[in-house]
Homo-oligomer: A and B are copies of this chain.
Amino acid sequence: MSKAVSSTPDANLSRDRFPGHQALREALLEAYRRVRSKTEQLARPITPEDAQIQTIDDVSPTKWHLGHTSWFYETFLLKDLPGYKPPEPEFTVIFNSYYNLIGEQYPRPLRGMLSRPSLAEIMDYRHEVDAGFVELVENASPTEVEKLTGLIEVGLNHEEQHQELLLSDILHVYWSNAIRPAYRDVRRVPLAKAEPARWHRYDEGLFWIGHEGDRFAYDHETPRHRVFVHGFQLASRLVTAGEYQQFMEDGGYRRPELWLSDGYAALHEQGWQAPLYWEQRDGAWWCMTLAGMRPVESSRPVCHVSYYEADAYARWAGARLPTEAEWEVVAAQAPVDGNLRDAGVYMTLPSGVDASPEHPHQLYGDVWEWTQSAYSAYPGFRPNQGALGEYNGKFMCNQMVLRGGSFATPKRHIRATYRNFFQPYQRWQFSGFRLAKDGSGR
Contact = CB atoms under 8 A, between A and B. Distances in A.
Interface string A114-130: 11111100000000000
Interface residues of A, number: 65
A261 interface: yes
Given A226-B228, A398-B262, A114 B379 contact: no
A432 interface: no
Interface stretch (A44-52, A66-74, A147-155, A411-419): A44-52
Contacts of A117: 179
Nearest to A46: B115
A178 interface: yes
B53 A115 contact: yes
A230 B262 CA distance: 32
Interface in A92-127: 93-94, 98, 100-101, 106, 110, 112-119
Given A53-B115, A226-B228, A261 B394 contact: yes
Interface in A383-435: 389-390, 394-398, 400, 424
Contacts of A179: 90, 116-117
A313 interface: no
Contact of A100 (B110, B257, B308, B390): B257
A100 B257 CA distance: 7
B53 A112 contact: yes
Contacts of A227: 228
A359 B50 CA distance: 53
Given A48-B48, A116-B181, A228 B206 contact: yes
Interface string A366-385: 00000011101101100000
A177 interface: yes
Contacts of A263: 397
A51 to B, nearest CB: 8
Contacts of A394: 259-261
30 contacts: A47-B118, A48-B49, A49-B49, A50-B116, A52-B115, A53-B112, A55-B113, A90-B178, A101-B256, A101-B257, A106-B178, A115-B173, A116-B177, A116-B179, A206-B228, A226-B228, A227-B228, A259-B394, A260-B394, A260-B396, A261-B397, A262-B398, A311-B397, A372-B377, A373-B376, A374-B374, A379-B438, A380-B438, A398-B398, A398-B424
Q: Report the 10 A-B pairs with minimum CB-CB distance, sorted nearest first.
A: A374-B374, A100-B256, A49-B115, A230-B379, A228-B228, A261-B394, A50-B115, A52-B52, A116-B177, A260-B397
